Amino acid sequence: MKKIIHLASALFLSTLLFSATSCNKDDEFKKEPIEVQLLTAKTWQIEEVAEVTDGEPPHVTYKKGAANNEDDFSRVRQSFKKDGSITFIDQEGESGSNGHYKLLDNNMLRLSWGFITNIVEHVVIRENSFSYRLVHEDGYTQFTFSPVQ
């Protein structure tokens, strides 16, 4: 009888040990959030920039294709990579790869370029649009992006 108990205990411990050590990284793979999938699937260009001052209607300073823009964001491109990096072309047409991003809770996004870091709010990422608000003292700037065609 003792042999059967020892055998059953040994079998149980072996099974437990095998189960505990047989997990591999594939089993631990976490599915990438849909927001990251959508953000990294395309290169984004600025569609519209609007300044919103508390109590005032939005003032559009840039609209893609408009002839009377106050600001020129027509060259700006941003490509978000799955590793958290950003490659970009700025307003002057200069390209860079020192950008970084991190999606945060509460529809927020941390954007960093060199020594500059901004936390943007009201982040909305869809298949064909991406937008966020850069909040400042008296309101915010709304940036809306579309995929590069």
Which tens digit of pLDDT belongs to each residue from 30-74? Answer: 667 899 999 999 999 999 999 999 889 999 999 999 999 999 999
Into how many domains does the chain fold? Answer: 1
- Three-state DSSP at 71 gives coil
5-14: pLDDT as tens digits: 443 343 343 4
Rounded CA separation 124/64 (Å):
19
What's the pTM?
0.77
N-to-C CA span, the chain: 76
| Average pLDDT for 74-83 | 97
Note whether residue 4 is domain-resident: no
CATH, residue 77: 2.40.128.270
3-state helix, strand and coil shares in percent for the chain, rounded to the nearest 5: 20, 45, 35
SS3 at position 118: strand
Q: What is the mean pLDDT of the chain?
A: 85
DSSP assignment, residue 93? S
Q: Is 77 within the bounds of a domain?
A: yes
